[in-house]
């Protein structure tokens, strides 16, 4: 079983790096928004402060590299590179799915290498909602989280992916209760996320009533897991079924704008964030953190650790310059500031 799971994770990484699996019609929505340039900012670029606190750590920028993969042999070098770059840049880092390690501890080294190379940043472990609902030994999970040095656990909701995946398990009954139990059992925070189809406001409100404080909207417009699984499907009818859902999902910006209205919820924005300006827009629209997964994996695959480090630095410098050119010295004045970013359809009304 462990071999099948790690081979699937390896498939996912290969397809993301080598195939075109992006949405074609649905977009993230970031293109609808434009920053309002401030030609008289009255601040010095060198004074702009992008730092923030997350899970008890001081981040240099509010960026997270989200989890992908998990347990596959090829993932150890990827995880090591991500950890080194994230630690140097002082950003948050997600670790791939813990499911393989819960089945076979021999793959633990692919996870442990992260904390070994990233001692100074928050690490977020990751587990599927279905596996949680099936009934885990929570004591074993706690020991594993402690062993890899995780500061939080993200639970990913992926009903469409599970329904389309050849090996998928779409049994989503009792997931809500399992999340509640986990939240009350673990000594670390829980983050609930999608995998690229978006979280609706209704789902986020339900999570809030359970006591969940953090969500990652992981919206549509970037990588399509329907397309990824379609490539892996061999049955022609199942391929046609997957194709029906190539444009399915809630665009990232739509999900983000609804999520930030909900009191008591801290929002991470991911899903199709491909450059620094989109990242800056996500923060300006109210996200506590912004980030992604596929972009950073593809960058490492094509350009190595140097290219990965440059991309992370570019995200930070773009945010810093966007803050400067909107007259915002701190993230507190930039985040969620409707005076500095407008929907394009309203720009004609700006005085």
CB 118 within 8 A of CB 157: no
For position 10, what pLDDT does the model report? 84
CB 197 within 8 A of CB 160: yes
Question: What's the helix, strand, coil split of the chain in %, to 5?
Answer: 50, 15, 35
For position 350, what pLDDT does the model report? 33
Helix/strand/coil for 94: strand
**Residue boundaries of the structural domains of the chain:** 2-349
- Model confidence over 191-209: pLDDT tens digits? 999 999 999 999 999 999 9
DSSP letter for each residue of 326-340: TT-SBHHHHTT-TTT
* 75 or 157: which leads in pLDDT: 157
How far apart CA 270 and CA 274 sit, in angstroms, is 10
DSSP letter for each residue of 98-166: SHHHHH-GGGTHHHHHHHHH-TTS-EEEEEEHHHHHTT--HHHHHHHHHHHT-SEEEEEE-HHHHHHST
For position 351, what pLDDT does the model report? 26
**Average pLDDT estimate for 260-269:** 98
100 has pLDDT over 90 = no
176 has pLDDT over 90 = yes
For position 231, what pLDDT does the model report? 97
> Buried b vs exposed e over 253-265: b needs ≥16 C-beta within 10 Å?
bbbbbbbbeeeeb
Quote the pTM value.
Answer: 0.95
Cβ atoms < 10 Å from Cβ of 318: 17
CATH code of domain 2-349: 3.20.20.70
Q: Sorting pLDDT into bands at 50, 70 and 90, what band is 71?
A: very low
CB 60 within 8 A of CB 89: yes
284 has pLDDT over 60 = yes
**Average pLDDT estimate for 175-190:** 95
Q: Any idea which residue has 């491909």 for tokens?
A: 274
How far apart CA 196 and CA 185 sit, in angstroms, is 27
How far apart CA 173 and CA 46 sit, in angstroms, is 52
- Model confidence over 209-230: pLDDT tens digits? 999 999 999 999 999 999 999 9
**Average pLDDT estimate for 292-296:** 95
Dihedral pair phi/psi, residue 220, rounded to 5°: -85, 155
């Amino acid at each position: 079983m462990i071999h099948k799971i790690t081979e699937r994770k390896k498939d996912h990484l290969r397809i993301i790096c080598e195939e075109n699996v992006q949405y074609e019609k649905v977009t993230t929505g970031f293109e609808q928004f434009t920053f309002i340039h401030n030609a008289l900012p009255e601040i010095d670029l060198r004074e702009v402060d992008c730092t923030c606190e997350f899970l008890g750590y001081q981040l240099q920028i509010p960026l997270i590299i989200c989890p992908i993969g998990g347990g596959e042999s090829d993932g150890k070098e990827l995880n090591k590179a991500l950890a080194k770059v994230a630690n140097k840049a002082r950003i948050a880092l997600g670790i791939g799915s813990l499911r393989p390690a819960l089945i076979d501890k021999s793959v633990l080294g692919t996870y442990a290498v992260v904390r070994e190379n990233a001692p100074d940043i928050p690490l977020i472990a990751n587990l599927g909602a279905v596996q949680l609902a099936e009934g885990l030994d929570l004591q074993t999970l706690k020991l594993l989280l402690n062993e890899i040095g995780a500061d939080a656990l993200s639970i990913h909701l992926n009903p469409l992916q599970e329904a389309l995946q050849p090996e998928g398990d779409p049994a989503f009954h009792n997931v809500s209760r399992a999340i509640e139990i986990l939240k009350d059992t673990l000594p670390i925070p829980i983050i609930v996320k999608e995998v690229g189809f978006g979280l609706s406001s209704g789902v986020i409100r339900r999570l809030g009533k359970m006591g969940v404080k953090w969500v990652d909207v992981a919206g549509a417009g970037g990588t399509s897991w329907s397309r990824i699984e379609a490539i892996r499907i061999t049955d022609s009818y199942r391929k046609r079924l997957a194709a029906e859902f190539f444009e399915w999902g809630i665009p990232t910006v739509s999900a983000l704008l609804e999520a930030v209205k909900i009191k008591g919820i801290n929002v991470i924005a991911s899903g199709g964030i491909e450059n620094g300006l989109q990242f800056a827009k996500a923060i300006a629209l109210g996200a506590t953190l912004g980030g992604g997964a596929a972009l950073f994996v593809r960058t490492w695959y094509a350009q190595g650790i140097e290219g990965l480090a440059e991309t992370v630095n570019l995200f930070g410098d773009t945010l810093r310059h966007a803050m400067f050119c909107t007259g915002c010295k701190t993230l507190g004045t930039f985040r969620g500031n409707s005076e500095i970013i407008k929907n394009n359809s309203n720009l004609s009304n700006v005085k």
